[in-house]
Amino acid sequence: MNVLPNLFEEFIDIENLKFYAKKIDENRYLGFAYDELKILDSIKNANLNINQIRNIHFGQIELEYFKDDQNSFFIIEDQIFGYIDDILVKIPSSINIENPTKIELDKIELSKDTIAINSSSKYIDNKTAYTISIIFILLALLNFGKYIANISVIDKTPIQIEKIKTDSKMLSTSLQTKSVIKRFKKLYKKQIKLRELLEYILLYKQHNKATLYSIDYKNNKFIFKFKDISTKKIKRYIKKKYKIDSISQKDNIVTIGLSI
């Protein structure tokens, strides 16, 4: 097939032509060059729609069956055709041919040698259109498969979420759970602060051998009472890390108020 254009090129302008080859013998082929647009125009001129045409055949191949040694001329619908040097040609009406064989087209048993006419686009031929269609359909099927897999996972997720909530005894809504978590974190932070503050004050007591008279803690407030210590010194020590709410001295007792 690939050499056909080169063979025709020597004799005709092959631009816009398509080619077809039929094997007629060992190492012998019959080559055809045809113009799709001309065929389409003929179909149009015959008031036919391309979709009504199943196959397009070559007269050269189909009429060969009727050719014999006595007569190589046929009449088909008032048109005379004949084989001259084994090539089918249309005989002008002015030439008188005696007793041509009358052929009724409906009765011809057609061969399998057909060509497909691409009537829709000059940019894409039928074979390419079918190939691309198959690729598109396969891709679409792949997508549908992935879609079904996704939907299956999506359907299972709420059940998984419910199971997690039940197993961990979570509250009914995430908002409620988040609120409780926030409360817990706040509480945890406060309890850490409480322990840090106590440790800081007790460190002072330990390093300065001070007497801690009492510790009172409620509502996030501490009241420490020290005995026999320097108010200035402990004030300076606490201020390094904490804000003092109140500090007072009565007799030899220093009372310090702190918040966490």
Partner 1 sequence: MKKIDPIIILLISLALLLFSLFLLKQSTIELKSQNDILKETKILANEYSTLKNRWNNKKKIISTIEKIIKQSRLKDIDMRTNKKNIIIDIQKISTRDIDRFVNKILNANLIILKLNIKKDSLYLEIGK
24 binds partner 1 (CB under 8 A): no
Reported residue count of the chain is 260
| Shortest separation between residue 108's beta carbon and partner 1, angstroms | 20
**Rounded to the nearest whole angstrom, what is the least distance from the CB of residue 136 to partner 1 in the complex?**
4
Please, are residues 91 and 73 in contact by the beta-carbon 8 Å criterion? yes
Q: Is 65 in the site for partner 1 (CB under 8 A)?
A: no
Instruction: Out of 30, 33, 39, 194, point to the residue binding partner 1 (CB under 8 A).
Output: 194
Residue 93 as a binder of partner 1 (CB under 8 A): the answer is: no
Residue 183 one-letter amino acid:
R
Beta carbon of residue 150, minimum distance to partner 1 (angstroms, whole number):
4
Per the CB < 8 A criterion, the answer to whether 50 and 43 are in contact is yes
Residue from 2, 47, 51, 96 touching partner 1 (CB under 8 A): that is: 51
User: Nearest to residue 29, comparing CAs of 19, 39, 37, 38?
Assistant: 19
- For residues 235 and 244, the answer to whether their CB atoms sit within 8 Å is yes
Q: How far apart are CA 123 and CA 2, in angstroms?
A: 20
Would you say 120 and 51 are in contact if contact means Cβ atoms under 8 Å apart?
no
Binding site residues, partner 1, CB under 8 A: 51-54, 118-121, 124, 126, 129-130, 132-134, 136-137, 139-141, 143-144, 146-147, 150-151, 153-154, 157-158, 160-161, 164-165, 167-170, 174, 177-178, 180-181, 184-185, 187-188, 191, 194-195, 198, 212-218
